[in-house]
Copies of this chain bind each other. A is one copy, B any other.
Amino acid sequence: MERLRQHIEHITSLTNEEFEYIQTHFTKKRVLKNQYLLHEGDDVKNEFVVLSGLYKVFFLDEQGREYIIQFAKENWWMSDYQAFFQEKKATVFIECIEAGEVLVSTLETREKLSAELHKMEHFYRVKLTNGYVALQERIKLLLSSTPQERYEAFVKLYPDLLQGIPKKLIAEYLGVSRETLSRLYSR
């Protein structure tokens, strides 16, 4: 839980009492490799804060092709935010790539803490601001770049992921075929 505190205090400082209270709204959960935290069609009751391990957020098209929206590592938040905020059924999957731990929270928690503690509303706003900017960057990249440039941008964003995971997953994140990606660095 100390991790969560540091994470929040990176944005806004808290008293011990405040953190004590906030803490009660999060529960720790161990996650094993290949375990699903969220499955298409589920009610999206939770959002997750990654403490350790590696996870992928992805979806499938009609032909069953897989597209990765996000890799999540330490201190990243993840959910099917569309469904989470709008209380719809999940359209994405969250699967564990490397075992680790996450904190589990709910929409009620987010709204309640935001309403009760101005500081927490601030925290969530800042997090969302950063997330918004990151997504916009991804859109610009998807719109304008060649596979080559996307790959280079990926390397910058996730330098540590390059060795750890199958290239296939990187291809699914970039939106190119495995073969095309392979040809990018073999020439």
Interface residues of A, Cβ cutoff 8 Å to B: 59, 61, 65, 67, 69, 81-82, 85-86, 114-115, 118, 121-122, 124-125, 128-129, 131-133, 135-140, 142-145, 175
Contact = CB atoms under 8 A, between A and B. Distances in A.
B132 A128 contact: yes
Contact of A125 (B114, B143, B175): B114
A118 B120 CA distance: 10
Contact of A61 (B69, B133, B136, B144): B144
A132 B131 contact: yes
A132 B124 CA distance: 12
B114 A144 contact: no
Given A81-B129, A125-B128, A144-B175, 11 more contacts: A67-B144, A69-B139, A69-B140, A82-B133, A82-B136, A121-B122, A128-B129, A138-B139, A139-B139, A142-B142, A142-B143
Copies of this polypeptide in the complex: 2
Contact of A144 (B59, B121, B125, B144): B59
A119 to B, nearest CB: 10
Contacts of A145: 61
A29 B41 CA distance: 46
Pick from A67, A139, A175 the residue with the most CB of B within 10 Å: A139
9 contacts: A65-B144, A67-B144, A69-B136, A81-B133, A82-B136, A118-B118, A128-B128, A131-B132, A142-B142
Nearest to A117: B118
Pick from A86, A125, A144 the residue with the most CB of B within 10 Å: A125
Contacts of A122: 114-115, 121
